[in-house]
A and B are shown apart, each in its own frame.
Chain A
Amino acid sequence: MRVVIAEDNVLLSTGLELLLRVKGFEVAAVAADVESFLAAVRTHRPDVTIVDVRLPPSFRDEGIRAALQARRDHPGLPVLVLSQYVEPVYASQLLATPNGVGYLLKDRVSRVDEFAEALTRVASGGTSLDPEVVAQLLAHRGDPIAALTRREREILALMAQGHDNATIGARLVITDNAVHKHIGNIFSKLGLAPTDSGHRRVLAVLAYLNSNA
């Protein structure tokens, strides 16, 4: 799988290259600014891109804007954005077109397997949201969330991060069947139309969390 990286910090970009190579990805190009990133995407047509939020010249949210621009230029281009801190507004901007987007804290990179899994999920059109983003989204949703049991809240959080039933079951050490049942309860408590397993369900959850009550 071919990856283009937009990261201006050499320490991080070399680390990322090393890590991706070990996990069997091919790093097609590393760009240090927005222009060269967009050019690299045009040239290499990567399967997935990794973009740091803070890029030159102002080191603010150039990365988010670069990611959005790249997705306008190449609809459906999978983008995984890395950030020093989580900002749900960035997540909302990215999720405006939710297929193939990820938004993770930089720290997560060091969990190699989970990071590779998230990257693969994004590359195949899925979603990967940082647990902290999801926690903040959940924390600011008022009463309907309070009606959920603890287990249901855990499952909702994992769904919002982009995980499928099998992963959720494995994480919480419960059967597929149990996961399925919990999800049914969550959807009826939140007043969401039941959807089949898979990405559409993730989107429904995200849309719910992202909207203001």
Chain B
Amino acid sequence: MLAGRGAAYLLGALCTAVASVVALPLLCHPTLSGSWARWHRRRAARLRGAPVETQPTRLRRLLGWLPVHVAVAVTAGAFALLCLGNLVFAAAVVALWWAFPADDPPSLLLDVPVHGWGTAVALGLAQVTVLAALAWSLFPPLADAHARVTLAMLAPAPADRLAERVVVLTRTRADALEAHGAELRRIERDLHDGTQARLVAIAMRLAVARQELAGRPDPLDRSDAVSELLREAHEGAEEAMTELRAVIRTIYPPILADHGLAGALQMMAVRGGVPVDVDMGELGQVPAAVEAVAYFAVTEALTNVAKHSHAARAAVRVRRTGDRLSIAVRDDGVGGAGEHHGTGLTGIRRRAEALDGTLAVASPAGGPTEITVDLPCGW
């Protein structure tokens, strides 16, 4: 690091230290304190060649740093000012010693009076050399020490850093969820409009071909082999359609694409054998991936109710609180539901946890059963 940069840094620090003391009341304002801290951190980072960090500094940390800043900057800054001042003075004396009054000659090297060109040049050179050496050797480490202390004291506390990280991760996860949801919908639509339609069209043509062939026997009697091939192709196409339909359903249930979560759950409740009360709160915008898991959870839970619970009624309650979507499915059945019974509960837990959600099952023997799924919506 050059002595010049160190000097500039130290003199700047001296100025801001003085300004900090004068403007202390202003610095209690969060906006000003924030930018004051940011400016100092940027300056210190530039001096040390360190990456500039942008996390905000809390006021408490700024106030802790200020006295240290003032003490270090005033001491080191005053030292730098003194060195530079005397350097300039020595240079001036060498050139202009004759202009001083004879009875009050200038002094160099602390207290040696200058009376002629000889002493002026000799003492001046000596003083310039000493001061330059001082500046050269001490300014950079002093400036570096100040910068180091500033960076350390103004950097956010580990807890703040962590909190900041959580905020960033939450936002990026929301973005990822949103992108994932858009992708799911696109895939579902592409498969439905493209692949599935094509398969149906192929199967229809194969079916027509089979009909036509059956109506017109081939004079060369190849019709058996051909119709056998057509039959296989036709059946293959039908199997592919069935498989594709199942795949689409697991990617993103088409009913969600058509009716949204609220509509899909209402429709599911209507079809159930056990009467289901559906109570939907105001859900706001829910990422598609979260909708899919919520829908899956309610489907599985209601299937369990119909199969195992002997319940007379069931209730589905969906609420949005902040960024959490909570889904509760309750029934008045016999209870005793657990993940060890090979019910769909394990599947629900796996899918909920994949989205950082939770599953809670309360099902004492004798009932009632309530399963609760809690899913973060990410924003």
A positions within 8 Å CB-CB of B: 9, 11-12, 14-16, 18-19, 22-23, 54, 59-61, 84-85, 87-89, 92, 105-107, 109-112, 136-137, 139-142, 212-213
Contact = CB atoms under 8 A, between A and B. Distances in A.
A8 to B, nearest CB: 9
Contacts of A137: 271
B245 A12 contact: no
A137 B306 CA distance: 12
B207 A136 contact: no
Given A84-B192, A85-B255, A110-B204, A9 B270 contact: no
Interface stretch (B130-138, B195-203, B221-229, B362-370): B195-203
Nearest to B210: A112
Given A85-B249, A110-B206, 11 more contacts: A9-B197, A11-B198, A18-B208, A19-B204, A59-B258, A84-B245, A85-B255, A107-B238, A110-B238, A140-B271, A142-B306
A19 B234 CA distance: 14
B241 A107 contact: yes
B274 interface: yes
Given A9-B193, A18-B204, A140-B306, A112 B270 contact: no
Question: Number of contact residues on B: which range applies?
Answer: 35 or more
Given A11-B197, A140-B273, A142-B274, A109 B204 contact: yes
B314 to A, nearest CB: 12
A94 to B, nearest CB: 14
Interface in B208-234: 208, 210-212, 234
B259 A15 contact: no
A137 B271 CA distance: 7
A15 B204 contact: yes
A85 B267 contact: no
Given A140-B306, A212-B275, A110 B258 contact: no
A82 to B, nearest CB: 9
B201 A11 contact: yes
Contacts of A112: 204, 207-208, 210-211
B334 interface: no
B272 interface: yes
B254 interface: yes
Contacts of B241: 107, 110
Contact of B200 (A12, A92, A142): A12
A109 B274 CA distance: 33
B249 A15 contact: no
B275 A15 contact: no
Contacts of A142: 273-274, 306
Given A84-B245, A140-B273, A109 B200 contact: yes
A195 B157 CA distance: 81
Contact of B245 (A19, A85, A92, A109): A85
Contact of B205 (A18, A60, A61, A89): A18
Nearest to A138: B273
B270 A89 contact: yes
A107 B197 contact: no
Nearest 5 pairs of A and B residues by beta carbon: A110-B203, A140-B273, A15-B204, A11-B201, A60-B258
A12 B273 contact: no
Contacts of B275: 212-213
Nearest to A136: B271
Contacts of B238: 107, 110
Given A15-B200, A85-B249, A107-B245, A141 B273 contact: yes
A164 to B, nearest CB: 24
A110 B234 CA distance: 8
Given A18-B208, A19-B207, A107-B238, A89 B200 contact: no
Interface string B271-298: 1111100000000000000000000000
B172 interface: no
Contacts of A87: 255, 267
Contacts of A141: 273
B237 interface: yes
Interface centre among B208, B210, B242, B273 (most CB of A within 10 A): B273
Contacts of B207: 19, 110-112
A104 to B, nearest CB: 12
A76 B266 CA distance: 29
Contacts of A59: 189, 258
24 contacts: A11-B197, A11-B201, A12-B204, A15-B200, A15-B201, A19-B207, A22-B212, A54-B192, A85-B248, A85-B249, A89-B270, A106-B200, A107-B200, A109-B203, A110-B200, A110-B203, A110-B207, A111-B207, A112-B204, A136-B271, A139-B273, A139-B306, A140-B271, A142-B273
